[in-house]
Copies of this chain bind each other. A is one copy, B any other.
Amino acid sequence: MKHIAESTVRRLSLYLRFLEELEGQGRETISSEVLADSGGTTSAQVRKDLSFFGSFGKRGLGYSVTALAKRLREILGLGQPWQVVIIGAGKIGAALAQYRGFRARGFHVVGIFDSDPAKVGRTLDGVTVSDLAQLERELKQLKPQIAVLTVPADVAQELVQRLTKAGVRGILNFAPATLHAPDGVTVRSVNMALELEILSYALAHER
């Protein structure tokens, strides 16, 4: 398969979110025009995005809401559930552990780890916080494909190594650090302070 741009994948997720809303409303078909508005883009962009994966629409009619939603779930890899572990049970880690949006999308939090003895043993949304020292041992059982990193920046890279060695293939990083991972392991970083700085730039440069 040809390489697909991240911006395309991001839009596919937005389309899916909107399609699921429409499914709930019992709507049967939708045009690229309406789908475009929901994601803040253009109808041509919608059609181009979808065309990379096949022809799902009917000319003169539009797309079947349920069929397209199903197809998008497959494309995005949401057909099967993913096992997720959260590393770091601080404020953000705890908030994510209890975030309903994850489970709703098929991301199951199966483990939470922290090195702080005061946090180990607590339960967050039905999952007990384990000692980070037991990470390798527990991952053998849990076999998560994805890890969410909410630890201080200075230990983040070290944890990428440990997680990778334990078989994790995707990491969502919230630490303000540039991380390196071996081939075959995908790392995405979300950096709240950086998002505010981009906003700051925009405000400072308004004419």
A-side residues, CB < 8 A to B, are 1, 4, 6, 9-10, 12-14, 17, 38-40, 75-78, 82, 84, 91-92, 94-96, 98-99, 101-102, 104-105, 107, 145-146, 169-172, 176, 178, 180, 184, 186, 188, 190, 192-206
Docked CA distance A10–B178 (Å) = 12
Output the least CB separation between A84 and chain B (Å).
Answer: 8
Q: Check if B82 sits within 8 Å of A91, measured CB to CB.
A: no
How far does the alpha carbon of A196 sit from the alpha carbon of B86 in the complex, in Å? 13
Q: Are A198 and B105 in contact (CB under 8 A)?
A: no
Asked if B105 and A197 sit within 8 Å, CB to CB, the answer is yes
Closest residue of B by beta carbon distance from A107: B196
Asked if A13 and B192 sit within 8 Å, CB to CB, the answer is no
- Is A145's CB under 8 angstroms from B9's CB? no
The residues of B that contact A184 with a CB separation of less than 8 Å are 206
Quote the shortest CB–CB distance from A37 to chain B (angstroms): 9
Cα–Cα, bound, A184→B199 (Å):
12
> Provided the pairs A39-B178, A40-B178, A101-B176 are in contact, do residues A198 and B188 lie with their beta carbons within 8 angstroms?
yes
User: Known contacts being A40-B178, A146-B203, A203-B186, is A102 close to B14, with CB within 8 Å?
Assistant: no
**Minimal Cβ-Cβ distance residue in B for A150:** B95
Judge whether A192 and B77 touch: CB under 8 Å.
Answer: no
Most B C-beta atoms less than 10 A away, residue of A38, A105, A198: A198
The answer to whether A170 touches B101, judged by C-beta atoms less than 8 angstroms apart, is no
Give the residues in chain B near A186, CB-CB below 8 Å.
199, 202-203
Instruction: Give the residues in chain B near A99, CB-CB below 8 Å.
Output: 91-92, 192-193
Given contacts A101-B192, A105-B196, 15 further A-B contacts (CB under 8 A): A4-B205, A9-B197, A9-B198, A14-B194, A77-B201, A92-B95, A99-B192, A101-B193, A102-B193, A105-B197, A146-B200, A146-B203, A169-B206, A171-B199, A188-B195
